[in-house]
Amino acid sequence: MRQAVLLKLRAENPFDGVKQPKLVQDEVEHLTEAEQRDYAASLPATTTGRLLRFILGTGLRVGEAIGLCWSDVKDAQFTVRRTVATVSNLHAAEGEPRTRQSIQPTKTGAGLRSIPLGNDMRALLDRQHKEQAKERIKAGPQWQSGEFVFASAVGTPLQVRNIRRVHDKALAAAGVHRVTLHGLRHSFATRWLVHDSDIRGLSEILGHADVATTLRRYVHSDPTHKADMMQRMGVL
């Protein structure tokens, strides 16, 4: 509307003087460290199960984990270069899906980052590589040319709705409270700070442009850790 006024298409901006309501950001639910262990133990030994465990172990966004390719993995680290997003399929013909997957670069410059691989996550990727080799043989000519680490049975990027279904089943099997897929990223951040106070390092791992974003949106204190600290602070 401001641009329309500048172009003399309108005499005035009808939104001038409108006071926006204060944005209240709801806190994203996360799993405690004990709940994370129970959740991880309930994940199936499948590609989707390994992807969920990888998100919990690296703090990746779901789209970043889906978009990870084997060429991004080098020895003891991997590089986040892209994300896979589900978008509206505006030109869908009758009978075609109303959504499609779009491969995009990372959200920001900070999103393009290299992340070290711990022994557990390195072993997880090795297992995924072996299992995917079997799936390639099984799929035969139906296997598509994509090089995605966590691919479907025919080599295409995994669908978020299918990942969410496995996630919800694992939460129920573990008997822990419900969190979203993005809550796994928050759970990783909380677990990091329980063991280390390096906010800068965590911010770089998460791909944030500044530490303030990490503190404001992604870091939650663990109730068990808080109780332990209050016990220590009471000793004078």
Distance CA 136, CA 140 (A): 6
Distance of CA 90 to the CA centre of its chain: 26
Tokens in use for 73? 């993995």
Question: Per-residue confidence at 110, pLDDT binned at 50, 70, 90?
Answer: confident
Mean of pLDDT values over 191-207: 87
CB atoms within 10 A of CB 148: 22
Least confident range from 1-15, 57-71, 95-109, 153-167: namely: 95-109
Residues shown for the chain: 236
Whether pTM exceeds 0.85:
no
Query: Strand 113-116 to strand 73-74: parallel, antiparallel, or no bridges (unpaired)?
Result: unpaired
Residue (of 193, 201, 160, 189) closest to 52 by Cα position: 160
Statement: residue 197 has pLDDT above 70? yes
**Mean pLDDT of all residues in the chain?**
88
Q: pLDDT higher for 173 or 191?
A: 173
Q: pLDDT higher for 17 or 79?
A: 79
Distance CA 98, CA 17 (A): 38
Distance CA 214, CA 222 (A): 16
**pLDDT of res. 94:** 76
Residue 77, SS3?
Answer: strand
Residue 107, SS3?
Answer: coil
CB atoms within 10 A of CB 209: 13
